[in-house]
Amino acid sequence: MFSIYIDDSGSSPDNRFAIAAGIVFPAKRIVAFEREWSAFLKKERVPEIHASECAAANPRSYPGWNESRIARVLLQAQQIVLKYSVKGLSIGVHKQDYDEVVPKDMLSNVGNHYIWALSSVLGLSYDWASKRSAPMEYVLDTPSKQEKRDIEEAIDYSDALYPGHFVGHYSFRSRKEVPGLQAADLFAWTGYQVACNTRFGNRIRPPAEKLWIAFESRNNGKWATIQSLNRKGLEMWVQKAYQSPEDLRLREYKQKRKEARIPQPKKKI
């Protein structure tokens, strides 16, 4: 039995890149991981590890932190994550490319940048778990009401493709209360920093570069599966997927879900 904790980075409208990332833990290691994580938080006197706020020394949770302390804490947090986890999955996409390349009628079905990336992570996790003939539990950060509906539809459709793997095996939890989601947040944030530096030349926030090298090199490069489609890659994906049997199945599924949400008129007696 394994559990994958999934979070995102770049979901704000101001962000140019979107990432969905998940970290897989064997069920038998989760108690020990959470115990060590809680002890670490207590030692550092912080309620949680939220990478973006920590890196920015947010005064509410990390008041007066300098770059040295930020780097030390995030790198130590990563070491705990790598000690207990067995796999990291990350999918990223440039939002503008996605919006311009994906046809509007297809976009309404595959979802926004994050839903597309999330669906891709679900597919990768299914492949990883299936090769090991192991069940997987999915834990996601609690989203807004609309995002939750979109995520549930993505999961339900994934279950239609791979019956019995997803439905009944996922839950929404608060990141503040779940160490695994804080771990996924750290992985997603690191990927976002590196992607924005590589794609747009943005200054990379320390210590994201060191974090990324450790994630990438873990287990001789086998720990992480990291994917990112550039514009050409998106165009090739659309060319292959548009009006394909799977695309048509997804359209039919979405239409049925839409019709199911429309209130039916009451019959007159």
Domain ranges of the chain: 2-261
Q: How confident is the model at residue 266 (pLDDT cuts 50, 70, 90)?
A: low
Q: Is the pLDDT of residue 136 over 50?
A: yes
Tokens at 135, concatenated: 């069940």
| 0.85 exceeded by pTM | yes
Lowest mean pLDDT among 81-90, 109-118, 176-185, 207-216: 109-118
- The per-residue pLDDT for 29 is 98
Q: How far, in whole angstroms, is CA 191 from its chain's centroid?
A: 11
Task: Please give the DSSP secondary-structure letter assigned to residue 101.
Answer: H
| Token pair 């060590």 in the structure block, residue | 36
Spatial contact of 180 and 27, defined as CB atoms under 8 Å apart:
no
Kindly report the CATH class assigned to 2-261: alpha beta
For residue 84, the surrounding DSSP H or E stretch is helix 67-84
Q: Is the pLDDT of residue 7 over 60?
A: yes
Q: Which residue has the higher pLDDT, 80 or 13?
A: 80
If 0-12 CB within 10 Å is exposed, 13-18 middle and 19+ buried, where does residue 46 land? middle
Altogether, the residues listed in the chain come to a count of: 269
Q: What is the mean pLDDT of residues 129-146?
A: 94
- The per-residue pLDDT for 245 is 79
The per-residue pLDDT for range 11-47, each reduced to its tens digit, is: 888 999 999 999 999 999 999 999 999 999 999 999 9
